[in-house]
Amino acid sequence: MLEPRGALPQAAWRLDNTPVPSADELLCDVETLNIDSASFHQIAEACAHDPERIGEHIRANVRERGKQHNPVTGSGGMFVGRVEAIGAEFPSGTLAVGDRMASLVSLTLTPLWIDAVTHVDVATGRVGVRGKAILFASGLFAAMPADIPTDVALATLDVAGAPAQVRRLVRPGDTVVVIGADGKSGLLSCAHARDRVGPSGRVVGIVPDARTEAARILVAEGYVDALVEVDARDVLAVLAKIPDVLPVLADVVINCVNVGGTELASILLARDEGTVYFFSMATSFTAAALGAEGVGKDVTMIVGNGYAKGHAEIALQTLRDHPPLAAYFARRYAPAEAAP
Ligand code: NAP
């Protein structure tokens, strides 16, 4: 059952979430949902950051829609679980029943059934559940890496599209601004941008609070050449602070925030005919398009496609290549697994 009839799963209001796979589907026993950051931020605000209310909110949403598709932000997240059954026609490769896997397609198109919410981690947006999910034959997935803690891999795979796109967009010698530089996608993006721009380029990070551990790592490990503490929603404050560290406007601006209202700052930080990559799910298409028009800025704006070829491996490899990032992700996203 699908509502409205004829809609494809992402666009549908409601999916049939009966946990029985067809021949070309895979059934997964779901352990954890990684709710995407813009969505979790919105839900947490609506529920006064109360774990029980957040859990009930997510259950109610899944009951109503058959998937975790936040009607306010339009975004979802991804899941980790164990393979329970593989349809005869599902292209599972080497994946076998009992294997741990992560979905690489959005929860907004994944039929999901939740029996219980067991845990809500308000700090990271991770939600423990007892439930089932269906993966379609076209659904991307990744086997969980043996050398990276599960919760770290989950946090990384959720934002895998960003580092892969940064590698494509950034050229040697470029000036790059990363907004929301101290979040998951921001950190991975800064590491790749710094690597791509080389000695003649410059990477500037924008964070709301420069005293966080992640902000300090960005500076200490040289992932940014400069860090600016400013609320990216406050365009005038951004314009006042940025000239100190950004002598020329950016060739590429990467927006990794989890709140709305940062489109114009992103556009104004890009040079004429520069590129703005909106990875953030809190981006408004109209605010970006009309904002650029309003300030007469001819920039290329790129929607943050969650998928890029090889994105999962690129994202995970970032942690292997950058031990300080791997250690930070472990402390923040898998404290229990990281403990000796
Ligand atoms: P995250 O780890 O929560 O990071 C978001 C960052 O934005 C945080 O460092 C946050 O700082 C910062 N921030 C918040 N408000 C800000 C402001 N006013 N000014 C400057 N920085 C601000 O999020 P993430 O998981 O990396 O995800 C980033 C975005 O990508 C979210 O919108 C998420 O929904 C989206 N996303 C997109 C895709 C895709 O396929 N395109 C996939 C997954 C996620 P504080 O922590 O200090 O508040």
Mutate to test the pocket of ligand 1, among 68, 235, 256, 318 (most ligand atoms within 8 A of CB): 256
| Residue 14 to residue 232: CA distance in whole angstroms | 35
Asked if residue 231 has pLDDT above 80, the reply is yes
Ligand 1: nearest atom to the Cα of 278 = 41
Ligand 1 pocket residue status of 206, Cβ below 6 Å: yes
Ligand 1: nearest atom to the Cα of 77 = 43
pLDDT band at 244 (very low <50, low <70, confident <90, very high): confident
Residue 340 has a pLDDT of: 45
Helix, coil or strand: residue 118:
strand
pLDDT band at 1 (very low <50, low <70, confident <90, very high): low
- SS3 string, 130-148, reads EEEEEECCCCCEEECCCCC
In angstroms, how far apart are the furthest CA atoms of the chain? 60
H or E element, residue 312: helix 311-321
Task: Kindly report, residue by residue over 256-302, the tens digit of the pLDDT.
Answer: 999 999 999 999 999 999 999 999 999 999 999 999 999 999 999 99
Residue 2 has a pLDDT of: 82
Asked if residue 195 has pLDDT above 60, the reply is yes
Asked if residue 339 has pLDDT above 70, the reply is no
Average pLDDT of the residues in 115-134: 97
Ligand 1 pocket residue status of 174, Cβ below 6 Å: no
Average pLDDT of the residues in 130-135: 98
Residue 117 has a pLDDT of: 98
Task: Kindly report, residue by residue over 18-68, the tens digit of the pLDDT.
Answer: 999 999 999 999 999 999 999 999 999 999 999 999 999 999 999 999 999
Residue 338 has a pLDDT of: 53
Average pLDDT of the residues in 114-136: 97
How far is residue 54 from each of residues 42, 57, 122, 159, 333, measured CA to CA in Å? 10, 5, 9, 22, 19
Mutate to test the pocket of ligand 1, among 78, 178, 185, 314 (most ligand atoms within 8 A of CB): 185
Mutate to test the pocket of ligand 1, among 33, 35, 37 (most ligand atoms within 8 A of CB): 37
Ligand 1 pocket residue status of 257, Cβ below 6 Å: yes
What is the whole-number distance in angstroms between the Cα of residue 298 and the centre of ligand 1?
25
Ligand 1: nearest atom to the Cα of 209 = 47
Average pLDDT of the residues in 90-106: 92
Ligand 1: nearest atom to the Cα of 234 = 18
